[in-house]
Structure 1
């Protein structure tokens, strides 16, 4: 596994502090984010899953705790739209340049608007995918928002 990915390079270039955490990726896991949290020994609320979606036909990125489900209604409203849908895996991979299970919100082929679930910001640190299956990045919630140029919204429920 490479030590550098487009995600880690994007964070380094932006001056964002993070640490790398590797774990054994299970491609057969039905819930990849929960499996990552368990492998890292972290509560699922600290390990965010990167979801690629469309709101009114425009691609967006949402980061939510791995033990949560996104509300399409809230997602659409948060991005000022009327309807939202998850991108099928092949579309998400083409858009981001990453493989499902290794999609990072950083260093995507095409930058898209991003939101973080607001409840996650109360955690002392968060984990997000580092651009490879089995690689997570640990960073402070404020640094996550700064690196994404995003904001926090209620997206689950």
Structure 2
């Protein structure tokens, strides 16, 4: 017969149901020497934390399933997709995974050593996607999944716990930010400038990106208070127009605000090239202080305005006077 054991994982304390990989006689299982065993329960390893978003959870579950089914290549490919899901969840889209991981690092969302982990996993995923001189082994897949689990824990669980710890101790005053993972360059600029602001999270599904107008509806505010940042060119020089989401930028009026004759909206490729600190479809004017900016003059009179944090799922509310000061924006009627 094959003995069964109830065991306790020495690393995480998880209860385990094990089945011996070899058959034995009727002796007491406690008297048997140690033998290889199969984990019958839990089938998916330790529970995935509730903080992990569904898109990341799906890839981690699929990677674990690949290991269990004896398909190392499948497991490693899902680990690579997990990295892509983490990037997308933080608003880093439209680039290769190589560049997206570095954008996470530049944005302070992961540390340098985590970038090294992610790079190893990315390269292993590339190997799994192509025929190579040798097939991937089970141990490599198991290691990849364990590293992916640790990566996810750090990004979604441990960082949040550390932030809440600092808030309780009074060493981190940004108690309205749910966790440090969500901090973006725009948020860091606001904190460093010591201006009053609020962070407003909203649900974000990477598969269904919301328009800025839909975000206003999600937050329950007037679209006139939710601003968009549009990059335009005056000849060869880029500028930023900041205006209500439902307003249409009057390119001639914008050009006049800068003493120019013509303006044109920047192509998406130019937006990606100019801004390395935000997703291309959620440009934050706060992250572009080095570009000349103009704010729609009617927005300057609002009690407060909302601008993108530079990532999906987070909007920043602040006084328009602070927005003008931090972006060095002039005001003019630029919406028709």
Q: Alpha-carbon deviation of 1:118? A: 0.4
Aligned residues of 2:201 and 2:315 also touching (Cα < 8 A) = yes
Find the residue that maps to 2:182 and give its secondary structure: coil
| 2:265 corresponds to 1:86 | yes
Q: Alpha-carbon deviation of 1:57? A: 1.8
| Structure-2 separation of matches of 1:40 and 1:153 | 27
Residue of structure 2 in register with 1:39 after alignment? 218
Aligned residues of 1:56 and 1:82 also touching (Cα < 8 A) = no
Q: 2:286 aligns with which of 106, 109, 114?
A: 106
List structure 1 runs of 4+ shifted beyond 2 angstroms: 24-29
- Higher deviation after alignment, 66-75 or 14-23: 14-23
Q: 1:61 aligns with which of 233, 236, 240?
A: 240
Q: How many residues align?
A: 155
Find the residue that maps to 2:286 and give its secondary structure: coil
Find the residue that maps to 1:70 and give its secondary structure: coil
| Structure-2 separation of matches of 1:135 and 1:89 | 22
The structure whose RCO (Cα within 8 Å, separation 6+) is larger is: 1
* Larger relative helix fraction: 2
| Structure-2 separation of matches of 1:113 and 1:139 | 20
Aligned residues of 2:286 and 2:323 also touching (Cα < 8 A) = no
| Structure-2 separation of matches of 1:78 and 1:11 | 26
| 2:321 corresponds to 1:142 | yes
| 2:334 corresponds to 1:155 | yes
Instruction: Provide the TM-score with structure 1 as the length reference.
Output: 0.91
Residue of structure 1 in register with 2:191 after alignment? 12
Aligned residues of 1:46 and 1:123 also touching (Cα < 8 A) = yes
Q: Alpha-carbon deviation of 1:136? A: 0.8
| Structure-2 separation of matches of 1:51 and 1:26 | 23
| 2:256 corresponds to 1:77 | yes
CA RMSD, 1 decimal: 1.7
Structure 2 residue runs of 5 or longer lacking an equivalent are 1-89, 91-180
Deviations for 1:53-105, whole angstroms, at most 9, x for unmatched residues? 11122100011001110001011111111111111112112101122222101
Structure 1 residue runs of 5 or longer lacking an equivalent are none
* Larger relative strand fraction: 1
Find the residue that maps to 2:287 and give its secondary structure: coil
Residue of structure 1 in register with 2:154 after alignment? none
Aligned residues of 1:9 and 1:107 also touching (Cα < 8 A) = no
